[in-house]
Structure 1
Amino acid sequence: MTTDRPDRLRMTREQALAWNPAWSAADVRLLEENLDRLEVRAFYRTRSNGSVTAQDADGLSVMYLSPGYVEFRKGLAPTDRPDPAWHGLALSCFRPRSRDVGTTDEGPAICPSCFIALPATGVCDDCG
């Protein structure tokens, strides 16, 4: 039932396991164990190369590989995972997102003459 779609690219198991060169040998072993446990047969990566989807023989997506973690379809995560509330496992290269990256409470600076948002340079594009 696996179907190819234009928004994703098919991969081999070997390509999927080598997708992130930052994964440690232990990460790859953990992934292999779960691929075998869930009988994964097909792999697809997004065109943006942001993640890899692993599917079983019926075409059901059972695992989602991201650069620093793996998530499982609800009910398919290992029962001995560190955080039972999360259907995933962090890998050795996992880096939590900082809440303050790219966000500020202040809005953009406004030009006092024409009331347009100023670019990062602080010099208005319209009135200079």
Structure 2
Amino acid sequence: MKQTLVQTTRETDIAIGATIKILRKQAGLSQERLAAAIGVTFQQVQKYEKGTNRVAVSTLIAICHALGAEPMAVIGPVLGKAPAGQSLAVLHLHNRLADAEERLEAIKAIASGKLPVVSGADIAAAADLNGYFVTQ
């Protein structure tokens, strides 16, 4: 079955966001530091990385400057071209590892009691904060 433009656009936004996340982690930057470098909130960076919000070309260039990467390093995987010295398989594995590490850090924070406890009413407001909260 042929995909619609909406489906392929959504997949492209997700793939670009995932690649930005990989490059950010490789650069050793937090979402907060990247956000400060490009003049947006860390929640906006989260939305870019999840593919929830589309990244404008001007923003992509700013992100690449902040990460010390070429724009083709972000766009290449979407076009089926990996950045120099990396295969697409390595990029995908790195992304899966980054997601697993993020989940592990959240679990550790929950286990150590370092995350705030919020009520059920606060959960909707916390959705943009990646859902890392413990409910009562």
Whichever structure has more strand as a proportion of its residues is 1
- TM-score band w.r.t. shorter chain: under 0.3
